[in-house]
A and B are shown apart, each in its own frame.
Chain A
């Protein structure tokens, strides 16, 4: 693997003049430049259709930029091989708005999935998964399947799955979009705690109330153009 080992100061992700368009359509993102440092916390915000989800897809290597440079852990996303993309993704956790839990697996199995994919034996990760599920408040829902979980529980299970491998970056797409305000606050606390444990957090949201609860850097997208507002 031609992945470099960045120093602690190096950004984990770097965007330089990134442009993105789907097919021959208009540019969804224009000249986007920013960096995500280690242990940082930021919101990606902006009105619906501003390009938040597209930006997250670029961050998660499920899209390649039309122009500009996207560097993930020091590796140019445009030239990363299929295998390399998967190896890089293991260092990134993602929480989808629609959770993407596998319904035929139990909560425990869903959360353990990233470790199972790495080829680890069930006995080696059992305690870690149980402890994490306890930590996110799903200790008594380990052996049930997602259809019987509430929206908030599914969201917490999805978060647990995203962080079980202790990723360096956690991406969350509208994590509070489907939950009530008290649960939204609880989820935000969860992200803050994860950030304190060393994970860089990127939350895509248009929930202003959520951002007001915890002041952090804001990457504001408007019609494909990004403005970066650092905290004072």
Chain B
């Protein structure tokens, strides 16, 4: 039996929630221990069991493995797209740098003009221009080699009025307009090709690839968000009772949304992380085996053109950013969906 004093002491110790003034002591009344069973001498906190605080919304009820796999695939595709954009932009920039660092002066045969002296004059003008590192007159054999694919072997270049070429390399900003004017004035038949057309085309191609890649990433994000909308609605339907109880105990919509958002953020981080790791592993593998190797001239040319196709740090950083962006998108979508659905139900 618990004495009345003991019972009153228990009530006095009952410090639960908000008080609305002094706690009233219960009026004397015969209440046996049978009415309110309580353990004699039990002290709060005496049950030191290892407690794991269970999430209010059970994780298993939120989304299955299928959504995780879907998010992983989407993340993998988005990372690949980001890496493609990075690699192509990087290569395009490299090509642009290389092309922009080279110029060609073309000297066409003009009647009554000695070709050698015209070439010398053009070279001297080029070399005198600030920003020009070197100017090299291509020998007739080299010109013939360039024409070989069209004219075949064994022709005599001196018999044909073939323009001669001076290859100019730059090491800084050069005043190309002045150079072109001087060449026109001083050397009849000379013209300057600054490869502007190629530069423009490369820039355009690089932009197109970037836009296409970012478009793919945006589509992947949108598809993932839509999947999450369906998954969230499903999870809410499966947890109708939990939501009802949360509302009955005074939880606001933001709290309920937060409970679902937490699960979807975790799922997003897991799924997107898996996809990202798979993509990064693929990049590393490509970097290892994807480089063009070999001693033949074709392989050397490919190497020169593609630069070994290595995936640089921007692709890795872009992939990590993409993973985080996907996880955040998933969490935000889940939150918005819960809030909107609750408002609709309400």
Contacts and interface: CB of A to CB of B under 8 A. Distances in A.
Interface of A: 39, 60, 62, 82-83, 86-87, 89-90, 94, 100, 102, 104-106, 108-109, 113-118, 122, 126-128, 130-132, 134-137, 139-140, 142-143, 161, 163-168, 185-186, 189-190, 193, 196-198
A228 B37 CA distance: 34
B250 A89 contact: yes
Interface in B243-269: 244-253, 255
B35 A185 contact: yes
Nearest to B55: A104
Contact of B47 (A90, A136, A139): A139
Contacts of B36: 135-137, 186, 189-190, 193
Most chain A CB inside 10 Å of its own CB: which residue of B10, B11, B245: B245
A128 B344 CA distance: 37
A77 to B, nearest CB: 14
B15 interface: yes
Given A94-B248, A139-B42, A109 B15 contact: no
B19 interface: yes
B111 interface: no
A96 B116 CA distance: 106
A89 B248 contact: yes
B65 interface: no
Contact of B44 (A127, A143, A163, A166): A127
Given A117-B250, A164-B17, A198-B20, A122 B56 contact: no
Contact of A142 (B11, B47, B250): B47
Nearest to A165: B17
A206 B250 CA distance: 28
B34 interface: yes
Minimum-distance CB pairs A-B, first 9: A166-B17, A137-B37, A90-B250, A165-B17, A114-B249, A130-B44, A117-B251, A196-B26, A189-B35
Contact of B13 (A131, A189, A190): A131
Interface in B46-91: 47, 49, 51, 53-54, 56, 58
B11 A104 contact: no
Given A134-B39, A139-B38, A164-B16, A113 B252 contact: no
B250 A86 contact: yes
B21 interface: yes
B250 A100 contact: no
Nearest to A93: B249
Given A137-B36, A190-B36, A197-B14, A130 B47 contact: yes
B39 to A, nearest CB: 5
A104 B36 CA distance: 27
Contact of A135 (B38, B51, B242): B38
B251 A86 contact: yes
A13 B310 CA distance: 73
A122 B242 CA distance: 20
Interface in B218-238: none
Contacts, number: 134
A127 B14 CA distance: 9
Contacts of B295: none
A197 B11 contact: yes
Nearest to A105: B54
Given A132-B16, A164-B17, A189-B31, A137 B249 contact: no
B241 interface: yes
Contact of A131 (B14, B17, B56, B253): B14
A73 to B, nearest CB: 12
A132 B35 contact: no
Contacts of A117: 246, 249-251, 255
A134 B44 contact: yes
Given A83-B252, A122-B53, A134-B42, A100 B16 contact: no
B252 A134 contact: no
Given A137-B36, A189-B31, A193-B26, A198 B250 contact: no
A140 B241 CA distance: 26
B160 interface: no
Given A87-B250, A117-B249, A198-B23, A143 B14 contact: no
Contacts of A196: 24, 26-27
A212 to B, nearest CB: 17
A83 B255 CA distance: 11
A83 to B, nearest CB: 6
A168 B54 contact: no
B56 A102 contact: yes
Given A94-B248, A118-B250, 13 more contacts: A83-B253, A89-B247, A89-B248, A100-B248, A106-B54, A117-B249, A128-B14, A132-B14, A142-B49, A186-B35, A197-B14, A197-B23, A197-B26
A60 B285 CA distance: 62
A126 B45 contact: yes
Contacts of A106: 54
Contacts of B45: 126-127, 130
